[in-house]
Amino acid sequence: MSEPYFNKITANGYHQIENEIAAWKAKRPALIKALAEASALGDRSENAEYTSAKRDLRHLESRLHFLTKQLQYSKVVTPTDNQIVEIGKYVTIEFTDDHDQVTYQIVGKQEADIKVNKISLDSPLGSALMGKTVADVATVQAPNATYQVKILAVKL
């Protein structure tokens, strides 16, 4: 029997999911009450309030199930204090073609958000950087192109 697969995640990412679960659970009683009140109005076949309340509660339950499974199959990884790129660390890179510099945090796929410079360790750039160190040049195999980046700094 093979060992179960766990998604690597930062401690911060894990806590964000826990907080989202708590927020959804806090909404549950109000949604159940709204469903009960709409149900009491009578004929459910033409009751828009009932249909809406039922849909909202179903969405909440679905989201809670999804988030709970994410935590169940996540493994919090604590980065070590060294110059090697790994999950949780901030990596400053320079694109070798145009010399643009940018700093990304390497995170688990469920917490990736390019708008705040958090990239997944499974993304083309993230996977090319993993295990590298300062001054290394990584070749990134993106879907539409291949490019190189030089690692300028790795920080916790």
**Residues belonging to the chain:** 156
pLDDT-based confidence at 86, cuts 50/70/90?
very high
CATH domain 7-76 topology? Helix Hairpins (1.10.287)
For the stretch 139-148, pLDDT in tens is 999 899 999 9
Within its chain, how far is the Cα of 47 from the centroid? Answer: 37
Query: Residue 149, exposed/middle/buried by CB under 10 A (0-12, 13-18, 19+)?
Result: buried
**Of residues 109, 153, 117, the one with CA closest to residue 132:** 153
Is residue 148 within 8 Å of residue 138, measured between CB atoms? yes
**Of residues 55, 91, 53, 68, the one with CA closest to residue 20:** 68
How is residue 59 written in tokens?
A: 């969405």
* CA atoms of 141 and 145, how far apart (whole Å): 7
**Global pTM?**
0.81
Q: Does the structure show a pLDDT above 80 at 1? A: no
Residue 137: DSSP 8-state: E
Q: The domain 90-155 is classified under which CATH number: 3.30.70.20, 3.10.50.30, 3.30.1330.40, 3.40.309.10?
A: 3.10.50.30
For the stretch 107-122, pLDDT in tens is 999 899 999 999 999 9
Q: What residue spans in the chain does CATH classification 1.10.287.180 cover? A: 7-76
Q: Which residues pair with 93 in a beta bridge?
A: 102, 151
The one-letter code for the residue type at 102 is V
Q: What residue spans in the chain does CATH classification 3.10.50.30 cover? A: 90-155
